Chain A
Amino acid sequence: MLQKKSKITTLDVFVLLALLGALVYVVYQVKVKLNYNWQWGIIPQYLFRYDAESGKWVSNYLIHGLLTTLRLSFWGTLLATILGTVMGLLRVSKSLFHKMLARSYVELMRNLPPLVIIFIFYFFISDQIMPIIGLDDFLRSSSAGTQRLFETLFSPPQFASAFISALFTLAIFEGAYITEIVRAGIESVEKGQWEASHALGLSKYHSMRHIILPQAMQRLLPALAGQFISLIKDSAIVSVISIQELSYQGTQLMASTYLTIEIWITITALYLVMTLTFSLGVGKLEAYMAKSQA
């Protein structure tokens, strides 16, 4: 593929100027018309605060929220990938029942408002399933080391049930998109690969597992990474069920400090830092994959 050097055209300059103008206008409105009293000085302490007891700097609400968002996104993507792979396999199966099952799942998830899905699944999982698993009891009776490990990987033990329920809810939601990605990946593997594999006497299962799926997954890697970024954004929705991720922390802080604009600008910046960093990474990954494919 030919890489065109991007040139800045008159139109670009015009658009940039318009954006700049809009920004100036907003700042002017806030500053002069609203007579808004900026108090940026208060914000940093919500990122890191000085702990007098231990004499150390420790992370505070916003960083906690950011980490929770990252944990939710990471485990959520992982779970969604597993679910999406299973459903994707059903989607390309010859059996009509399998196909319908996977198709119904995908259509249901994609045609309901995420908020509705979150409420339905969250209450179902946390009410019906979590007590059966008995995670809370397990954590309460487990050693301090296990509890700390759980806190590092997932969430503080006292919120375990809610966190895990939210995690599964997000995974079920996100899994529908990954199902379609996996299906596309499997279908993108050349027919010749199936034929060579069958001609060697490999069963359908072995062909899928050793020949088709590994190639599909390799091609899917960038798309999956993209889905991870989506989940960083989409996970904000679980703030409605009181999971203390970044958006939730923002709402809470706003309610207690009334620094609406400062806080939301900070939250915006934090989300952008996460998503843009990972986007850059995905771009690199894509370029790398494209090179290794050639």
Chain B
Amino acid sequence: MQEKKLGDYIVTVEKINKTFPNGVCALREFSTRIRRREVVVIIGPSGSGKSTFLRCLNGLEEIDSGSIVIDGIPLDENKKNRWEIRKEVGMVFQSFNLFPHKTVLANITLAPRLVRKKSNDEAAEMAMDLLRKVNIPEKAESYPSQLSGGQQQRVAIARALAMHPKVMMFDEATSALDPEMIGEVLDVMKNLAEEGMTMIVVTHEMGFAREVSDRVVFMEDGYIVEEGTAEHFFTNPQKERTKLFLSQIL
């Protein structure tokens, strides 16, 4: 990992604020920049705003103030920009959210066909490549309900990759899995990182953070409390709050 060269900034987030209608403030003056090929792991206690941050990045939640620019496209009032950004940013959810009425293959080919206007054959061929990449080509014609959790999540990753995103976001992608299935999903994520994908990963898997991440961000109450390399976090955390949190999860 040492020799990995990071590129220019692909994600620029400046002073975003997000308060939900019920008055809960999930993000406060949150700023960060992410480089191409960088793998950022976000950790933090429950309710600290990790999911909200990811959801703001692809416009699933609207920010109240501040600015988000992804690959040169500002996420603003302009709806076209939002759709443009969603094409460039892939998202993997804790609960998979596969489309239960469609086969694995159809789950993967749907967006490329409708959004990227790929032909059926082209989309299917690419989907099969991706299924091989996540090690379940034999499940192409299965329905999501026929797969294990780990397999479903790997399909969800393939589905997101099928749009050829420039950034991949993972929101606790392994939290809903049985322990014996976590490894197979993490392996896919590791491979992706090695291929140079820009990744923002919310996770409790400290092994993954240590092995794969270029930077770890610890957030609480909508702020970044501390950030640095995984090495820094495990050997030499500065803030009391960080130490307390790490002692709880390690």
Interfacial residues, chain A to chain B (CB-CB below 8 A): 190, 192-193, 195-203, 206, 210-211, 214-215, 218
- Distance (Å) between the CB of B89 and the closest chain A CB? 8
- Distance (Å) between the CB of B84 and the closest chain A CB? 8
- Distance (Å) between the CB of A55 and the closest chain B CB? 54
23 A-B pairs with C-beta separation under 8 A:
A190-B97, A192-B93, A192-B95, A193-B97, A195-B60, A196-B93, A196-B97, A196-B98, A196-B156, A198-B58, A199-B86, A199-B91, A200-B90, A200-B115, A200-B159, A200-B160, A201-B111, A201-B163, A202-B114, A203-B83, A206-B114, A210-B110, A211-B99
In the complex, given contacts A201-B115, A203-B83, A218-B101, what are 7 additional A-B residue pairs having Cβ atoms less than 8 angstroms apart? A192-B97, A193-B97, A193-B99, A198-B58, A200-B111, A202-B115, A210-B110
In-complex Cβ contact of A199 among B60, B99, B101, B114 (8 A): B60
B50 part of interface (Cβ distance < 8 Å)? no
- Distance (Å) between the CB of B249 and the closest chain A CB? 26
- Distance (Å) between the CB of B73 and the closest chain A CB? 13
| B58 neighbours in A (Cβ, 8 Å) | 198-199
**Does B101 lie within 8 Å of A198, measured CB to CB?**
no
**Does B110 lie within 8 Å of A200, measured CB to CB?**
yes
Interfacial residues, chain B to chain A (CB-CB below 8 A): 58-60, 83, 86-87, 89-91, 93, 95, 97-101, 110-111, 114-115, 156, 159-160, 163
**Does A201 lie within 8 Å of B83, measured CB to CB?**
yes
**Does A200 lie within 8 Å of B101, measured CB to CB?**
no
**Does A215 lie within 8 Å of B83, measured CB to CB?**
no
For the residues of A in contact with B, the DSSP-based class is helix
Q: What's the Cα separation between A214 and B86 when bound, in Å?
A: 23
Q: What's the Cα separation between A211 and B102 when bound, in Å?
A: 9
- Distance (Å) between the CB of B66 and the closest chain A CB? 21
| A206 neighbours in B (Cβ, 8 Å) | 114-115
**Does A196 lie within 8 Å of B99, measured CB to CB?**
yes
Most buried by B among A192, A196, A206: A196
Instruction: Find the A residue at minimum CB distance from B87.
Output: A201
State the 10 A-B residue pairs at the shortest beta-carbon distance, nearest first. A196-B97, A200-B111, A192-B97, A199-B91, A201-B86, A201-B87, A201-B115, A206-B114, A214-B101, A215-B101
| A218 neighbours in B (Cβ, 8 Å) | 101
Most buried by B among A199, A210, A214: A199
Q: What's the Cα separation between A190 and B101 when bound, in Å?
A: 13
- Distance (Å) between the CB of B100 and the closest chain A CB? 7
| A192 neighbours in B (Cβ, 8 Å) | 93, 95, 97
Most buried by B among A200, A211, A218: A200
| A199 neighbours in B (Cβ, 8 Å) | 58, 60, 86, 89-91, 93, 160
**Does A202 lie within 8 Å of B93, measured CB to CB?**
no
Q: What's the Cα separation between A210 and B107 when bound, in Å?
A: 11
